[in-house]
Chain A
Amino acid sequence: MSSMSRELSTQNNSPRIPVRSSIWKQSFRQLVRNKLAMSGLAVVIVMFIACFVGPLFSPYSSNRIHMNIMNHAPNARHWLGTDALGRDVLTRVLQAGRISLTVGLASMMLSVFIGALLGAIAGYYRGIIDQIIMRIADLLLTIPSLPLLFIFGALLSEWKVPTDYRMYIVMIMLAIIGWPGLARMVRGQMLSLREREFMQAATVLGLSNHRKLFYHLLPNIVPLLIVIATLNIGGAILSESVLSFFGLGVMPPTATWGNMIDAANNMLDFQNRPWLWIPPGLSIFVTVIAINVFGDGLRDVLDPKKKR
């Protein structure tokens, strides 16, 4: 029987639906069709434009103090009212958004860069380098992140870092907290990728380590990185807001969404002037949910294993 059995050979190996375009283009088309993801992206874009361009059109300079219009409730002239110093809350929310969004974006890029690089190196070279990197990552993952962030924040305060620079240091803090998890994941991916057939093929072809790492392995984890990076922006914005809310992140007069909610720590503002702290809170919520929705859409398209 064995001599007779043979698969039907009908030159049927190529896919039946012809490949029309590259994987990236196809993914893009798929993404555009995902209505939920696209609306998420739209909200993010609107938020960015509003925060970065909006204040330019505001008739109210955010930092000028107006004693005669203190603590006004939302009205036709000040849509979200004014604060204790007579500043227009809407303008301040938008300007705070600049900082919050920048910190979120930048700290994400930093942590993805560090995490991907260290993870890839650890997963590719293995041995002693891997040991060192991953042990440091384990150590950082052992200490709970919030106390760690609080200590860093306290250090900043004691060292009298000028408020203008604090946002940059907050970015670095968040990146230090963020990279170990990422590195661990990238390393796992690398370890499984390097066992695959195409890597053995690359080795057989006699390619250099450097070439294998950067041309054959890294491109394979780029889709995953894009997804993680997108979702991490939301996380970073949330972390920044917590820190700033507790007075350990970016400090006034530089407004961020987090430190604007600090108004709620004042009993009077909390009970009677919700326009001071609810708008920044909602801004965080809306931005993060939009980023998460978009990131999930990206994941559907780019990460074949996580298809819905």
Chain B
Amino acid sequence: MSTYITKRLIYTLVILLAASLLIFCLYALTPGDFISGNIKLSPERRAELRAIYGLDQPILERYFTWMNHALQGDFGDSLAQQQPVLKLFKDYVWNSFLLAIVSTFLTWLIAVVIGVVAAYKQYSWFDTLVMIGIFAAMSIPSFFIGLFLIKILAVDLKWLPPGGMMTTGSNATGLAYFKEVIHHMALPVIVMTLLGVGSLTRYFRSNMIDVIKQDYIRTARAKGMSERKVLFTHALRNALLPAITLVGFELPALFGGSLIIEKIFNWPGIGQLYMQSFSLRDYPLLMGFTMFMAILTVIGTLLSDLLYHVADPRVKLQ
């Protein structure tokens, strides 16, 4: 077990190192930067700034400098905001997390319940309806459904605010603050849930259908157990088991924010921060973000793997 984990960890680190090099080179290749994008600067001032930020050095040298700092927990300062990248992440990440955790929870809840019921009533009209809903949810362009719902629910009907986390100029505190945030997050949460629920429901439905056909379900019925017990103690456990691997894969989405949704709904999360910085070519922040996502991805994968081994009694680590 421990040798397995050690091996996995080493491999993970190697992949991350390679990813960091790739990310760095990609951003370094991207022509134009924050300084040359600012037309107010004189050529002399530009050269000066370049030297300050080390942009006149060769790529590899810049990579090692960056990496060296990164290993010490310093991803540099954002050029546009003149603040450490990590501090900015800290300021924004919880807003992203709030949105993500609520919608992830809703997505899983809805997917499990609907998936189980649809599988149990396979081929019924309910199941057909669910299937159509699943396909619809899987086929929606995320930015379009965001815009569409803003147009209908916020602009036309004025039920919900079109974006942001707080009403502009509001300085509500306490309970009023909470209510305002909930009011603002309703629309993005609806959209994110809608986007995620299709494939997950389908996943649970098909898992459950496979499980229901198994011999041990027949055995459980032959023992005289009630259908509810058969379904929820015998079948659901087996259907949920492979889903444990998905928990790890949710990790990047939980902390990394959603670029598209946060941009559309003007939500002050880490994804929107990225989108803003992208148009400004604020490289330290962009690299920091991409690296952050890569780290979350590999940790998530590792986590999935370990969780699966812990959860399934059949799988033994070698």
Contact = CB atoms under 8 A, between A and B. Distances in A.
> Which bucket holds chain A's interface residue count?
35 or more
Interface string B289-317: 11001100110000000000000000000
Interface centre among A36, A139, A144 (most CB of B within 10 A): A144
Nearest to A281: B144
A139 B15 contact: yes
Contacts of B155: 270-271
A155 B143 contact: no
B289 A147 contact: yes
Interface in A74-131: none
A249 B26 CA distance: 17
B19 A289 contact: no
A11 to B, nearest CB: 29
Given A144-B297, A147-B274, A261 B143 contact: yes
B298 A142 contact: yes
B95 interface: no
B30 A261 contact: no
Contacts of B297: 141-144
A306 B23 CA distance: 37
A151 B283 CA distance: 11
B148 A143 contact: no
B64 interface: no
A250 interface: no
A36 B130 CA distance: 13
B190 interface: no
B163 to A, nearest CB: 12
Contacts of B278: 150, 154
A238 interface: yes
B138 A292 contact: yes
A142 to B, nearest CB: 5
B15 A158 contact: no
Contacts of A296: 135
Nearest to B18: A139
Interface string A136-173: 00110111101110110011001100000000000000
Contacts of B143: 241-242, 245, 261
A144 B256 contact: yes
A50 interface: no
Given A139-B22, A144-B256, A285 B140 contact: yes
Nearest to B256: A144
Contact of B15 (A138, A151, A293): A138
B293 A292 contact: no
A284 B136 CA distance: 11
B31 interface: yes
A289 B16 contact: no
B237 interface: no
A151 B28 CA distance: 10
A41 interface: no
A179 interface: no
B122 interface: yes
Interface in A259-289: 261, 264, 270-271, 274, 277-278, 281, 284-285, 288-289
B259 interface: yes
A178 interface: no
B141 A270 contact: no
A308 interface: yes
Interface of B: 15-16, 18-19, 22-23, 26-27, 29-32, 122, 131, 135-136, 138-144, 147-148, 151, 155, 206, 209, 252, 256, 259-260, 274, 278, 281, 286, 289-290, 293-294, 297-298
24 contacts: A141-B297, A142-B294, A143-B23, A144-B290, A146-B259, A158-B32, A234-B139, A238-B141, A241-B143, A245-B143, A258-B141, A271-B151, A277-B144, A281-B141, A281-B148, A284-B141, A288-B138, A288-B141, A289-B139, A291-B139, A292-B139, A308-B122, A308-B206, A308-B209
State the 4 A-B residue pairs at the shortest beta-carbon distance, nearest first: A281-B144, A289-B139, A288-B139, A158-B31
